[in-house]
Structure 1
Amino acid sequence: MTTRHVARLATIAVMCAAGSAVTTVLLTARAQARTARAREAVALHRAALWRQTALVDDVTGIASRAAWEAELARAGHAAGPTAVLVFDVDRFRDLNRVLGHPGGDRALHHVAGLLTRVLAGRGFLARYGGDEFAALVPLDGPDPHAHATALAADLADGLLMPAGECAPWPVTLSVGVALLRPGEDSEQAFVAADRAMFEAKNHRRDSRTAMPHAA
């Protein structure tokens, strides 16, 4: 083998080695890109699950406070008036003390089911926190104030959990309602409904309803 042949073989060997190195680098880069895309997909999936979980109350299975706040903000921009309702379980501390926290959670889950049935798909329902629930119901008709008051009264009539259903005594809910008109402050409407609920509760704990006087 001549010196020229040896040089050519050496050159070919170097070129093959270089090509192999380039191929290895490319394959490594592709693998790293695939891994990065997979990690990104997992992160996005986890974020979506977190958002979904954050919008659902883990005790009752209905919408959470985070979901409520987002829906309440949207209600302030609705085309028509909306009834803002706040519900509170009467004597819940006593119930929680007698049944313990697991029993209290069962009662809250039962109340959420009751409210869901009573609302019958007419609006948005959420657990605001503790033993307090909130709902948004679109209104129609010439007198939305009267409609909101009548709606709360109708709901109150159906808000009785008989004794034995997760509780040793009949459980009632106090209800407050406020009217949210287009363009008004939705947070203030919620505060008014919450105040009306406490007014109802202080008046008589028996599924009472109240409308804020200023509404």
Structure 2
Amino acid sequence: PGPTPPQPSLSGLPGPCLPDFWLIVRVLQDRVEVYAHAQSLIREDGGPGAECRHLQQLLVRRVGEICREVNQRLLLQDLHDSHVCNSLLVAESEEDLWRSETPFHSRQRAPLPSDDYAADESCAPRGYLAALPATMQFVPGHFSCDVVWGTVIRVHSRLKMGPSMGVSRAIQALRSVLNAFSVVNRKNMFVYQER
């Protein structure tokens, strides 16, 4: 047999000039997929490939920021509508965990020696959260909002009660006024949405 004839290449064919860099974004029901392709290899020396890589990283970061903000808004709206705080928005404190447990659940639940968050039954979502697979993908408080403004209002010394006398009258009065805004699964948490 003789030598193989050369195969025709696509680069020699006339046609439209294709760009060196492609960035494809697919928005699906449960995720966003980003694909990038560059004709030239990505080089560390800051060549054209580095710019393509930077653009892809910038897009992925921005999509992540948008997804985080959308999740925060949905969780905040759910908090306002139901007065139940999702653990993805604000992690439960030890006191909240103890208050929400029933004797049946505490007897049935045993600590598991596992580092796998999804396999740990003690981290499993409770109640209406069972339908959300996101509670198994993110740690509690993952979508917490940054503090924009905060203040401390001190209770006047004459309104304070001694340590053995329980909750002060001022705190009791404050709780009764704020009762309409209370979050049912968090102690001392209230929700109000600006109109």
What range is the shorter-chain TM-score in?
under 0.3
Q: TM-score, normalised by structure 1?
A: 0.24
Q: What TM-score do the two structures reach when normalised by structure 2?
A: 0.26
Which of 1 and 2 has higher RCO (CA within 8 Å, sep 6+)?
1
Which structure dedicates a bigger proportion of its chain to helix? 1
Q: Determine which structure has the larger strand proportion and give its number.
A: 1
Computing the radius of gyration over CA atoms, which structure comes out larger, 1 or 2? 1
